[in-house]
Structure 1
């Protein structure tokens, strides 16, 4: 794959890759890093990439692997030196900006609902969360998800079904 072809891939799939990276990380700074690292790794591995064999799935699988590696490194570092007390003292965390809505009440309700759905999704394990994000945020077909994750399509369908069921149960419990 030539650099010009890679540039075209960024144009075609950049927004969906970025949205998926945001779903994986949950904040803009980490999303920007993961997005950039994904395409840097794609440049390194461009000789392995085949544009005719679903390059979007390949890019998403790179993002998944990089994110998994970052989380492993973070967990290892947390065992050595926990930073949770530091984060609590400085007020670090994620903050979603409010979308411009018709009324302040609608904005608050929308933010609350979005937060509930995101919390329910974040409680799922990676086996269930990744297919869910790929399906709904990256708009990938079941076969594409199977290719990106290296699992059979039936397994993807099963995990999507289980994830939806667990999300539904979690949201029914949390709803007033």
Structure 2
């Protein structure tokens, strides 16, 4: 693929791809790496992208594929030698220190954080459709195309993910 075309895609969809990467990884450094790998992979593929075929979904599909491969690799490594994410611990400590808000705002933030963590704990097959639908407003058809799955499977995964999230949030005392 020509660098001008990649540059145009970055200008047009770069922010969406970066947001998607952040939602997948929940870590800004990992998101930046995934973002760069996505556009490098696009250049390696040397495919022609037509605007009428939804290039944004194609870019999300590339990022999602790379992320799934990374997750597999990390799971294999975790079985051998478990590790702790220092950057996540630092982010959580910064959030605790910055909380000088009113009680209702703090409670809302806690609920949002619990929900974010619950989404993060979902299996990748449930997490990706939830992120694509509720963060990026994608339709089931687009998610199915990105995930390379039938629409019925995407709908089932969305329903199961919502059920898991609801159960977990209720166990933590929210929404009762």
Q: Which category describes the TM-score, using the shorter chain as reference length?
A: 0.7 to 0.9
Partners of 2:151 and 2:9 lie apart in 1 by 25
Partners of 1:83 and 1:162 lie apart in 2 by 29
TM-score by length of 2: 0.82
Partners of 2:30 and 2:117 lie apart in 1 by 18
Gaps of 5+ in 1: none
1:10-21 to 2 correspondences below 5 Å:
10-21=10-21
More helix by share: 2
1:1-176 to 2 correspondences below 5 Å:
2-47=2-47, 49-84=49-84, 91-94=86-89, 95=91, 103-175=101-173
Partners of 2:134 and 2:45 lie apart in 1 by 27
Partners of 2:163 and 2:82 lie apart in 1 by 34
Alpha-carbon distance change, 54 to 46 in structure 1, aligned in 2, over 3 angstroms: farther
Q: Are the equivalent residues in 1 in contact too, given 2:26–2:120 (CA < 8 A)?
A: no
Partners of 1:52 and 1:152 lie apart in 2 by 21
Alpha-carbon distance change, 36 to 174 in structure 1, aligned in 2, over 3 angstroms: same
Alpha-carbon distance change, 163 to 80 in structure 1, aligned in 2, over 3 angstroms: closer
Q: Are the equivalent residues in 1 in contact too, given 2:144–2:151 (CA < 8 A)?
A: yes
Partners of 1:170 and 1:81 lie apart in 2 by 28
Number of aligned pairs?
170
Superposition deviation, residue 48 in structure 1: 5.2
Q: Aligned with 1:93: secondary structure? A: helix
Superposition deviation, residue 29 in structure 1: 0.7
TM-score by length of 1: 0.82
Gaps of 5+ in 2: none
Q: Aligned with 1:52: secondary structure? A: helix
